[in-house]
Amino acid sequence: MPGHANGKAAAEPCANLSSDLRCRLWAQVERPSCCAGLKPSDEMCGDNRQQALAWLSALELASRP
Ligand code: SF4
């Protein structure tokens, strides 16, 4: 999978995500502003992790160059 010039490739987990799926930068000033400003919605999160990942996958497909 090709890398991204400004970060991670699509479908690649964030480098700040721990093995137990928690943000290592949570509540720290180093946490990116785009993360801190994100307003999660029911549509985005769904009822479980699988639904949230499916929503992300659909966004990645829709925004593919
Ligand atoms: S909140 Fe942002 S920095 Fe933290 S794990 Fe998620 S994407 Fe990465």
The model's pLDDT over 19-57, given as tens digits with 9 standing for 90+, comes to 999 999 999 999 999 999 999 999 999 999 999 999 999
Q: How far apart are the first and last CA of the chain?
A: 14
Asked whether 55 lines ligand 1 (CB < 6 A), one says no
Mean pLDDT score, 13-22: 93
pTM for this model (two decimals): 0.74
* More confident of the two residues 60 and 43: 43
Distance 40 CA to ligand 1 centre (A): 13
Number of DSSP helices (H) and strands (E) in the chain, helices first: 3, 0
**Given a cut of 60, is residue 2 above it in pLDDT?**
no
| Residue nearest ligand 1's atom 1 by CA | 35
